[in-house]
Amino acid sequence: MNTILKLSSLYDDESWSIPGALTIDLRSLEGCCCYCDPEAEESIKAAISGAQTAGVHWIDTGDYHYITKFWLERLGEPFLLSLFDNHPDDGQDSLGGGLLSCGNWVAACKDKLPLMRGSFRNTASLPRSLPVYLSIDLDVLSPQWARTDWSQGEMSLPELLQAIDAISKEHRVLGVDICGGLTVAKGARPADLSINVRTRMLLTDYLSSHPLVSG
């Protein structure tokens, strides 16, 4: 099952969608871009409460990567977080009474989620004893494969898919989410949108033909 969360104009700018996906429109929500205030957090959690944790969740640009935490909070067994991201997202800038953000959500998960027994970034080499939740930010990819509003890595899409394949062969995958992209408001040109749509379609085709999770 694919779930698409619209929090910005990203997917409309790209004219991208997945037939049959559950689409949740949160574009009118305030207090949620990069940092998430308590009211926005409750609204997002309520909006996704009917969506399956198992499946593939498309969570808009990297500004909203913290939404991964809301999916992880719903897991009922010990798990590992497998993160593919050009940034560790484990800063301490807003912990200790501050706001959850796209830059500190991993640290928040380590601090608040006892069932998360470890997080691993940009590697397919994980301990084999536990299932995995897979979170992908397209900024891990080189500009040949994605255009985002954050600094990017050097991974190719084939390398990313190879890593995902290796993880899925060794682990039960509890869920997947994918964020990243560039809106027109942040400077996306037609070529940028075209590259991102191509990568989304390739990822969708891969995940459809190599189902990692049930649901």
Encode pLDDT of 194-208 as tens digits. Answer: 999 999 999 999 998
pLDDT (average), residues 56-67? 98
Tell me the average pLDDT across 35-59: 96
Spacing of C-alpha 101 from chain mean position: 13
**Pairing mode, strands 100-101 and 35-36:** antiparallel
Residues in the chain: 215
Mean pLDDT computed over 95-106:
82
Question: Where residue 94 falls among pLDDT bands split at 50, 70, 90?
Answer: very low
Rounded to an integer, the average pLDDT of 97-114 is 92
In the block, tokens 């560039």 appear at 182
The CA distances from residue 123 to 103, 118, 136, 149, 176, in Å, are: 20, 13, 12, 23, 16
Least confident of 98-112, 130-144, 176-190: 98-112
pLDDT tens digit string along 164-198? 999 999 999 999 999 999 999 999 999 999 999 99
Residue 93 has pLDDT above 90, yes or no: no
Read off the pLDDT band of 123 (50, 70, 90). very high
pLDDT at 82: 98
Question: For residue 212, what pLDDT band results from cuts at 50, 70 and 90?
Answer: confident
CA dist., res. 28 & res. 11, Å (int): 15
Bridge partners, 119 (sequence order): 81
Q: Look up the CATH superfamily of 2-209.
A: Ureohydrolase domain (3.40.800.10)
What 3-state DSSP class applies to 44?
helix
pTM of the model: 0.95
Domain boundaries, the chain: 2-209
The pLDDT of residue 98: 81
Using the predicted structure, report yes or no on whether residue 92 has a pLDDT greater than 80: no
